[in-house]
């Protein structure tokens, strides 16, 4: 594995899931694999889970992981080729990335979208510029359009929580939820891409009018604006807000009726409820669900370590 920015870099998802679960059972089984190697984790945006789980995963493999909070401590990067840098940006990625490639054996990058320029965001300009100029494997710690470490984690968690003796594909529902701010489409895009690629679920996406995601990620899913109908018989419900894709980066509907509450679980197959976190309580998801037996959000977030460890070990093995 030379990079990890999308499901297309993942290879066999079931094999990765098994590798991650083997690390969960025995975290230090490859504790010398990354000896003498260093990973740089660059955060252009905030993070708790991704930052800490990636550091722990790297350390479990014997690597040193160094975090650089670029947005707080670094120079402002310029990403556009041929830019005249007379504005607020100080250092071109073309100059910074090769240096980072000398300091580190693997680079992890978190770069959120602008939510202003759809073309730039959906071309993955920021992370692609790092890939182009760093000269070492790049791992997405969430990019403008995708969050692959989260999605691998989600499939690991679904595998762990599959109802016993299910003699059909699990029904997995991705439901839009209200939020106070316009959020990226990354987690929803990525979850859709991975579940479709995995191909082992009956996958339904439900959202209000105008919240259609990019078809290149959702193709293959059943899409409906009727949340009640979507949730019927669900085994898993993934709750997530995203801003509009077509009229890019906006909030149209913010109807609180879309929040997932306990009464909405009644017609499900005792569905497990998932969210990537952080979550706005009683806006996206009710306290009752988050604090109740159907929520698997803590298990899900704890699995971030094993997903990251499976990916880093694949990269180390192919270096
Ligand atoms: N789910 C997730 O990526 O969490 P953080 O933003 O805290 O890393």
CA-based nearest residue to 51, from 151, 155, 141? 141
Distance, in Å, from the CA atom of 298 to the CA atom of 300, rounded to the nearest integer, reads 5
Q: What is the pLDDT along the chain (319 residues), one digit of tens a residue?
A: 999 999 999 999 999 999 999 999 999 999 999 999 999 999 999 999 999 999 999 999 999 999 999 989 999 999 999 999 999 999 999 999 999 999 999 999 999 999 999 999 999 999 999 999 999 999 999 999 999 999 999 999 999 999 888 999 999 999 999 999 999 999 999 999 999 999 999 999 999 999 999 999 999 999 999 999 999 999 999 999 999 999 999 999 889 999 999 999 999 999 999 999 999 999 999 999 999 999 999 999 999 999 999 999 999 999 6
Residue nearest to atom 3 of ligand 1 (CA): 50
CB of 142 sitting under 6 A from ligand 1: yes
CB of 276 sitting under 6 A from ligand 1: yes
Angle between helices 93-103 and 125-134 (to 10 degrees): 50
Q: What is the pLDDT of residue 163?
A: 87
Pure H helices in 199-259 = 215-218, 227-231
241 contacts: CB under 8 Å, gap ≥ 6: 176, 177, 178, 179, 183, 284
Domain ranges, ordered by start, for the chain: 7-146+304-318, 150-301
Q: What is the pLDDT of residue 319?
A: 66
CB of 50 sitting under 6 A from ligand 1: yes
Distance, in Å, from the CA atom of 112 to the CA atom of 99, rounded to the nearest integer, reads 22
What is the three-class DSSP state of 199? coil
Q: What is the pLDDT of residue 262?
A: 97
Distance from residue 165's CA to the centre of ligand 1 (Å): 33
Was domain 150-301 assigned CATH 3.40.50.1370? yes
Distance from residue 85's CA to the centre of ligand 1 (Å): 31
CB of 300 sitting under 6 A from ligand 1: no
Distance from residue 288's CA to the centre of ligand 1 (Å): 22
Q: Which atom of ligand 1 is nearest to the CA of 301?
A: 1
Fold (CATH) for 7-146+304-318: Rossmann fold (3.40.50)
**The pTM is what?**
0.97
**Strands, E assignment, the chain:** 3-4, 38-43, 64-68, 77-78, 91-92, 106-110, 138-140, 171-176, 202-206, 222-224, 236-240, 272-274
Bridge-partner residues for 15, per DSSP? none
CA-based nearest residue to 188, from 294, 113, 266? 113
Residue nearest to atom 6 of ligand 1 (CA): 47
Asked if 173 contacts 264 with a C-beta cutoff of 8 angstroms, the reply is no
Q: Which atom of ligand 1 is nearest to the CA of 149?
A: 3
CB of 56 sitting under 6 A from ligand 1: no
CA-based nearest residue to 221, from 184, 248, 193? 193
Q: What is the pLDDT of residue 164?
A: 87
32 contacts: CB under 8 Å, gap ≥ 6: 62
Distance, in Å, from the CA atom of 45 to the CA atom of 126, rounded to the nearest integer, reads 13
Asked if 175 contacts 206 with a C-beta cutoff of 8 angstroms, the reply is yes
Q: What is the pLDDT of residue 253?
A: 87
CA-based nearest residue to 214, from 151, 123, 152, 150? 123
Distance, in Å, from the CA atom of 237 to the CA atom of 240, rounded to the nearest integer, reads 10
Q: Indicate if 150-301 has the same CATH topology as 7-146+304-318.
A: yes
CA-based nearest residue to 238, from 159, 162, 164, 295? 295
Distance from residue 47's CA to the centre of ligand 1 (Å): 5
List the Cα angle 266/272/193 in 5-degree steps: 120
């Amino acid at each position: 594995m030379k990079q990890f920015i999308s499901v297309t870099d993942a290879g066999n998802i079931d094999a990765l899931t098994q590798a991650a679960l083997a690390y969960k059972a025995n975290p230090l089984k490859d504790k010398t694999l990354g000896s003498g190697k260093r990973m740089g984790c660059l955060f252009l945006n905030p993070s708790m889970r991704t930052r800490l789980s990636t550091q722990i995963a790297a350390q479990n493999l014997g690597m040193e992981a160094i975090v650089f909070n670029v947005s707080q401590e670094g120079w402002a990067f310029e990403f556009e080729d041929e830019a005249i840098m007379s504005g607020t940006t100080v250092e071109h990625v073309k100059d910074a990335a090769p240096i980072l490639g000398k300091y580190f054996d693997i680079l992890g990058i978190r770069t959120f979208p602008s939510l202003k320029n759809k073309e730039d965001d959906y071309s993955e300009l920021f992370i692609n510029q790092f890939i182009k100029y760093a000269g070492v494997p790049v791992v997405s710690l969430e990019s403008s359009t995708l969050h692959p470490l989260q999605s691998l984690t989600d499939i690991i968690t679904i595998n762990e929580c599959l109802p016993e003796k299910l003699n059909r594909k699990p029904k997995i529902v991705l439901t839009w939820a209200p939020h106070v701010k316009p959020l990226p489409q990354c987690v929803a895009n990525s979850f859709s891409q991975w579940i479709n690629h995995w191909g082992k679920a009956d996958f339904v996406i439900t959202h209000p009018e105008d919240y259609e995601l990019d078809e290149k990620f959702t193709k293959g899913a059943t899409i409906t604006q009727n949340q009640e109908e979507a949730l019927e018989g669900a085994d898993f419900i993934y709750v997530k807000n995203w801003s509009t894709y077509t009229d890019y980066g906006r909030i149209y509907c913010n109807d609180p009726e879309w929040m997932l509450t306990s009464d909405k679980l009644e017609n499900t197959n005792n569905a497990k409820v998932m969210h990537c976190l952080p979550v706005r309580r009683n806006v996206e998801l009710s306290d009752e669900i988050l604090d109740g037996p159907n929520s698997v959000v803590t298990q899900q977030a704890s699995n971030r370590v094993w997903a990251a460890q499976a990916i880093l070990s694949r990269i180390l093995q192919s270096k």
